[in-house]
């Protein structure tokens, strides 16, 4: 049996007493006093897999990954089990983002450190088919707050690609230009132009569970 687990810890750079947590199957929480007290947030999140009447219950939302913009930490992006959401008020309320192409299912999200409207995702087909859509790997990028998405594919395998990217396996540098991600197939890719072009660094490692820039 799976149990809820903390996976995302977003510390407000303006106030270290303010911390936002993402918990798988446990929702979004924050503290304003360094952890002495916690508050359940998440208005607007929707868990489609729950029965009617429970889909908007904040306590059971399956957050896959939360990331905030370093320059504007009230802006957060959430890759949820049931789609992509964005908050502009420090996680109090969330807007569901529609129209992600090729898919809004996935685990990883990275946010541009200076631009809260820009975020990257690595989509999978769906919950039942946790591989790239049509076995064609891409990174999705939005630069307008989720109104539109680009599927960035140059340098990534477009046939027989069965790479799943875990929640901690996508990262971006402080200048927002260089990204890297790793997959369950032991591959690591890097882009030095915001995701437009990718180069594979390795294909010979065990499944990758985390990618971070030093």
- Write the pLDDT tens digit of every residue in 180-197: 999 999 999 999 999 999
Is 186 domain-assigned? no
Is 170 domain-assigned? no
Q: Which domain holds residue 74?
A: 5-161
Is 187 domain-assigned? no
Tens digit of each residue's pLDDT (9 = 90 or more) over 50-87: 999 999 999 999 999 999 999 999 999 999 999 999 99
pLDDT of residue 110: 98
Q: Compute, in degrees rounded to 10, the torsion defined by CA atoms 130, 119, 153, 213.
A: -90
Is 16 domain-assigned? yes
The domain tally of the chain equals: 1
pLDDT of residue 1: 45
Looking up residue 67, the CATH number of its domain turns out to be: 2.130.10.10
Is 106 domain-assigned? yes
Contact 188, 211 (CB under 8 A): yes
Tens digit of each residue's pLDDT (9 = 90 or more) over 141-182: 999 999 999 999 999 999 999 999 999 999 999 999 999 999
204: exposed, middle or buried (C-beta count within 10 Å: 0-12, 13-18, 19+)? exposed
Is 40 domain-assigned? yes
Is 117 domain-assigned? yes
Is 90 domain-assigned? yes
- Residue % of the chain over a pLDDT of 70: 99
Q: The tokens 């898919």 sit on which residue? A: 103
């Amino acid at each position: 049996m799976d149990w809820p687990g903390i996976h995302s810890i977003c510390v407000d750079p303006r106030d270290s007493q303010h911390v936002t947590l993402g918990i798988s199957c446990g929702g979004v929480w924050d503290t304003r006093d360094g952890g002495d007290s916690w508050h359940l947030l998440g208005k607007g999140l929707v868990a489609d897999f729950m029965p009617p009447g429970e889909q908007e219950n904040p306590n059971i939302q399956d957050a896959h990954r939360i990331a905030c913009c370093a320059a504007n930490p009230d802006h957060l992006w959430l890759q949820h089990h049931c789609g992509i959401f964005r908050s502009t008020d420090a996680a109090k309320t969330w807007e569901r983002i529609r129209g992600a192409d090729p898919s809004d299912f996935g685990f990883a999200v990275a946010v541009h450190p200076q631009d809260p409207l820009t975020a990257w995702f690595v989509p999978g087909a769906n919950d039942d088919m946790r591989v790239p859509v049509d076995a064609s790997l891409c990174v999705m990028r939005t630069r307008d707050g989720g109104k539109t998405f680009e599927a960035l594919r140059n340098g990534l395998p477009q046939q027989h690609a069965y790479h799943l990217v875990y929640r901690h396996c996508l990262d971006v540098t402080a200048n927002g230009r260089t990204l890297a991600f790793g997959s369950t197939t032991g591959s690591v890719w890097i882009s030095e132009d915001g995701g437009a072009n990718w180069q594979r660094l390795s294909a010979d490692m065990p499944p990758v569970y985390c990618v971070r820039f030093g």
